Structure formats: structure tokens, C-alpha cells
Amino acid sequence: MTARLLVVSDTHVPGRGRVVPAAVWDAVDAADVVVHAGDWVGVDLLDELEARAARLVGVYGNNDGPDLRARLPEVARVVIDGVRLAVVHETGQAAGRERRLDRLFPGTDVLVFGHSHIPWDTTTPAGMRLLNPGSPTDRRRRPTHTWMTAAIDDGVLRDVVLHHLEGPPGDSGR
């Protein structure tokens, strides 16, 4: 059976991110698993995602206070249809990232991370897939707001898509 994933990070709501785009909420509704790689900022978004998502896997980030840290781990590990997935907010500098993460996350098939707001999709020398969805609300110096969708089918991560929203985050993205 195929598991549909929404991969998001660095929402910063409320704060730099004022609202989650409608297109992301549509993806929440379509997903079997929502993965959030930290920097929520407000606990209200966690509550809303927990209520709306079929399944939520999340971690806290460096901008998340004690209320979020009390409810979320620093690192989350789950198995979805045979795929060993780990989630963490920060992975350090880009230089040497692949080899460093192979050492830190042995036995992981897919590692989702955030922090930089820069989309990232690579494979490490050991074969681990690294995904950073960027941010759907705080693009910083990036040209668009971003998030990812993917599917896990029969033990394989497939169909990873980086979505772009060019208008303000309050737009529907359509």
C-alpha cells in the first residue's frame, strides 16, 4: 500500500511565517503522514496539525521553546512501509554533510531535516536519502516558498516533488 507524505519544515508560525499556505493545508489533507522538521515557533500549529493530519511525525527546532520541546523529540525515528525514516532539525554545515550524516544516522534510509530554509535532495555515499523541504512561509533569500511531497511504496521512497509557491504564503498556491 502506498503511503503519501507531506514533508515540511521551518514554518515559524506565528512570527516570520504568518500563515501556512492553503496549498500546504491541501497537502496535509491528502497525506497519510505529515513530517515536520522543526521550527514551528508556536504550539498552536502543532495542535492544528495533530488534529488534522492522519499521522504526524515531528521534531523541535532551535526556535522552538519549552512548550514545543516538552511535546516533541529532538530526533524522531519511524518505519513507514519498510522505509526507516529519521527526522532532525539541524544537520550542521553543508560541507561534508553526506558523510557526517552517514556516521550519525546509520541504518537510516531517509533523513528529513530543516533549519537552512534551503531545499536539499541528495543521496549519501551509504545510500541514505537526505531531504530538506525548505520553508513554506519564510523563504529568506530563496525565490519561492517550498515544501515537498513524496510516496513510500513497497519499501521504496518514490515521487519526491519540491513544490513552489511564488506569491505570499496566504495565497492558495494555485
Residue type, 115: H
Between these two residues, 160 and 1, which has the higher pLDDT value?
160
Other beta carbons within 10 Å of 90: 15
- The answer to whether residue 172 scores a pLDDT higher than 50 is no
What global pTM score does this model have? 0.94
User: Measured between alpha carbons, how far is 49 from 105 in angstroms, rounded to an integer?
Assistant: 27
Name the strands in the sheet holding 120-123, side by side, starting at the edge strand that comes first in the sequence.
75-80, 83-88, 110-112, 129-132, 120-123
pLDDT for 45-80, tens place per residue? 999 999 999 999 999 999 999 999 999 999 999 999
41 DSSP assignment: B
- The answer to whether residue 174 scores a pLDDT higher than 50 is no
